[in-house]
Amino acid sequence: MERRPNATGESSFSTFPYYDVLYITSVCDGAGDLLYLQKTLLHRALGVLFAQKNNVVVHDIDKQRVQRINNNESTIFDEEIEAFLSEKQLSLTATDDKAKAYKDANFIIIATPTSFDEDSHAFDTSVVDAVIEDALMANHDALVVIKSTIPVGHTEYLQKKYSTDRIIFSPEFLREGSALKDNLFPTRIIIGGDSEQSKEFANLLIAGSEIKNISPMFMTSGEAEAVKLFSNTFLAMRIAFFNEMDSFAMANNLQTKDIIEGVRLDPRIGEGYDNPSFGYGGYCLPKDTKQLLANYKTIPQNLIEAIISSNQSRKDFLAERILGHNINIIGFYRLVMKTKSDNYRSSSIIDIMQRLKNKGKEIIVYEPLLEDQIDFQGFRVFADLDEFKKTAELIVTNRMSQELVGVESKLFTRDIFGEN
């Protein structure tokens, strides 16, 4: 495949050629249903990153999203992505034509979602696997880069199945609401492969970032897959630890804030992921911790399982504390787990709502993302915030907001520091 210079006739990164990059964000399952989840939305930041210096094609089956991308409109809430699309000269287009998208790519980046199958106790990788098969058949030269989170050992399985080294795994470490920023200023670049194409892909990531002196780490695909799962499980462990600390303080009438501030003064512990919450949630942590546990199938462990159990215990504990207020109409302000997020998938808040509903409580919801909906999973939805605040006898929120000023007397939250 031809490698082309940029518009100035030379590479803006001295050792970095111009590439065609295909970026896959969503596909259909066997029933033709859209499999488009928040994680794939987060990965769209990578397409914007690459489009600064490369020709990027985004393949998406949703025609409305294709049109929005081609109109330089962001499909997710991310201030940096919105700014780049409106202010930068990007070579970024979108199409729903799979054959056209695959044809000339030097790199095919797969960011389709994987979910954890509770019955098989493993990630459902069927969508990723189907896309890889299509990609290898349609393009005989491109490097296929898996960004979707997969079980440890899955890339090696695919390499052996198709007798190729053109499949690698490269994890992403992004936060909702700041996905592009995290790509512009990466903490690390992990590449699960050491071929020349793998090294070219690493250079592509460096060229798009603002940190030019970062050194990529090259390792086996299995090691890269493990880095992803262990990183997210460690974050889940830290969240669970400080949540259990908060539960202890609540049960013993102690000030959580003072305890946390005293603990994190130890430089070995430090700050971060220590603001109590209703439990870890979102698209990544719940499923990644379960997948890591599944990978321990024949290996002795206690801690990984305890992290998952701790998250459930936290939700049980808080549901009981809310029930202790002896009120009937409980309002939940926002379903999203954090500010600057438009994702409420696998939200711990919803789990607590269901626990309270099972105890006979009336649950009402204020969530602007639900727009014109009047019902969400059997819960009544309010579009008017003032009406919601008047109707609710107790307002539960995972994170504080200026919109709740004036109703502090009937708030229940564990947001100690006013941060995510």
Indicate which residues carry an active-site annotation: 284
The tokens of 203 are what? Answer: 């250079």
For 178, residues 6+ apart whose C-beta sits below 8 A from its C-beta are 78, 80, 340
Q: Can you tell me whether residue 194 is helix, strand or coil?
A: coil
Q: Which residue has the tokens 């220590």?
A: 274
Q: What are the two backbone dihedrals, phi and then psi, of residue 166, each rounded to the nearest 5 degrees? A: -90, 15
Strands (E), 54-132: 55-59, 92-95, 107-110, 115-117, 122-124
The answer to whether residues 333 and 398 touch, using CB atoms and an 8 Å cutoff, is no
Q: Distances in Å between the alpha carbon of 80 and those of 21, 68, 111, 335? A: 21, 17, 20, 23
Q: Which residue has the tokens 């990153």?
A: 49
- Number of helices (H), then strands (E), belonging to the chain: the values are 14, 18
Cα 322 from chain centre: 29
Q: Can you tell me whether residue 417 is helix, strand or coil?
A: coil
β-strand partners of 333: 366
- Concatenating the DSSP letter of every residue in 286-337 gives HHHHHHHHHHTTTS--SHHHHHHHHHHHHHHHHHHHHHTT--SEEEEE-SSS
**Distance, CA of 369 to CA of 388 (rounded, Å):** 15
**Distance, CA of 254 to CA of 299 (rounded, Å):** 39
Q: Which amino acid is at 91?
A: S
**Cβ neighbour number for residue 307 with a 10 Å cutoff:** 22
Q: Can you tell me whether residue 283 is helix, strand or coil?
A: coil
Torsion angle defined by CA atoms of residues 72, 77, 81 and 82, in that order, rounded to the nearest 10 degrees: 50
